[in-house]
Amino acid sequence: MRLHRYFIAASLGACVAGCAGMDPNALAQSGQLATQAAMLTDADVRTLSAKSCAQLDSENQIAPADSPYTQRLNKIATQLGDNINGVPVNYKVYLTKDVNAWAMGNGCVRVYSGLMDLMNDDEVRGVVGHEMGHVALGHTKKAMQVAYGTSAVRSVASAGTGVIASMSASQLGDLSEKFVNAQFSQSQETAADDFSFDMQKKKGLDPSGLVTSFNKLAQIDGGQSSMLNSHPASAARAKHIQDRIASGK
């Protein structure tokens, strides 16, 4: 639930403008890496996602199997299903006060305990369905391409061939951070909202948790929650879902 405004070309242009003293070979390589990022295949994105997810898992405290958080998420996972576009999903909870959730192209879905403390199961399900929508609709592929491109450009001086295979721990950490903090466009956010709504309706679930989850997120820090920053206004998103509930469509 993040607004995605970065573009590989813009990032490369900023580097060229601000790297006048950089070796010409390094600048040429930055262009190659940016192009490579734009051409990442679905398989490349799944590989990068698996590496990034493993990195983030190693950096966070994961709720154990007997945790109430895990048990709640397991129940929600049973409702939402075990795959996204045929890719198996694995769900885990990070024990942190942060309010966030995200999903990656390899089926990695992570929900923060801070979000689960704030929301009931119907609301968490709406949010997780939304994040799964970003994967199903191809938004996370674009976000990973940009995260890869901008992190590669920033570390161009030390990057070599076969970047995906040879990324260092620091480069991988940078990639993971950029992806988790990536933001999506308003149209992408609305499409992911609709995906969550449609999926829940198809499964016979109540999608009204989407409405109340927007309202709760909007109340965090005076509406400055990172999950809603620069997104379509929460009131507009809530009304959109309420209108769909009322129309039955």
Question: What tens-digit pLDDT sequence spans the chain (249 residues)?
Answer: 543 322 233 332 333 334 444 344 443 444 455 555 667 788 888 988 999 999 999 999 999 999 999 999 999 999 999 999 999 999 999 999 999 999 999 999 999 999 999 999 999 999 999 999 999 999 999 888 888 877 754 554 344 445 566 677 788 888 888 888 888 888 999 999 999 999 999 999 999 999 999 888 878 755 445 555 545 577 788 888 988 999 987
End-to-end alpha carbon distance in the chain? 23
111 beta partners: 93, 101
Backbone angles phi, psi at 97, to 5 degrees: -75, -10
Has residue 35 been placed in a domain? yes
The answer to whether residue 2 sits within a structural domain is no
| 135: Cβ contacts below 8 Å, ≥ 6 apart | 84, 85, 87, 103, 104, 105, 107
Q: Residues near 24 by Cβ (< 8 Å), separated by ≥ 6?
A: none
Residues 23 and 16: their CA atoms lie apart, in Å, by 11
Residues with Cβ within 8 Å of residue 200, at least 6 apart in sequence: 125, 126, 129, 206, 207
Query: For residue 224, is it within any domain?
Result: yes
User: What was the pLDDT predicted at 214?
Assistant: 87
What local confidence, expressed as pLDDT, does residue 218 receive?
79
pLDDT at site 115: 96
CA distance 240 to 139: 21
Tell me what pLDDT residue 101 has: 95
- Check residue 43 and give its pLDDT: 87
SS3 breakdown of the chain: % helix, strand, coil, rounded to 5? 65, 5, 30
pLDDT of residue 86: 93
Q: Assess if residue 184 is contained within a domain.
A: yes
The answer to whether residue 237 is domain-embedded is yes
Q: For residue 158, what pLDDT is reported?
A: 40
Domain hosting 221: range is 8-247
Burial class (CB in 10 A: 0-12, 13-18, 19+), 102: buried
Q: Is 82 a domain residue?
A: yes
User: What pLDDT, on the 0 to 100 scale, is given for residue 63?
Assistant: 98
Q: Which amino acid is at 40?
A: L
Please state the separation of Cα 232 from the chain's center in Å. Answer: 17
User: What is the spatial distance between Cα 249 and Cα 245, in angstroms, rounded to a whole number?
Assistant: 7
Compute how many other C-beta atoms are within 10 angstroms of the C-beta atom of residue 224: 9
3-state secondary structure of 183: coil
Q: Annotated catalytic sites, by residue?
A: 131
| Domains identified in the chain, total number | 1
Q: Please indicate, yes or no, if residue 1 is contained in any of the structural domains.
A: no
What radius of gyration do the chain's Cα atoms show?
19
Using alpha carbons, select from 143, 144, 140, 13 the residue that is nearest to residue 85: 140
Determine contact, residues 38/53, Cβ cutoff 8 Å.
no
Instruction: Tell me whether residue 3 is in a domain.
Output: no
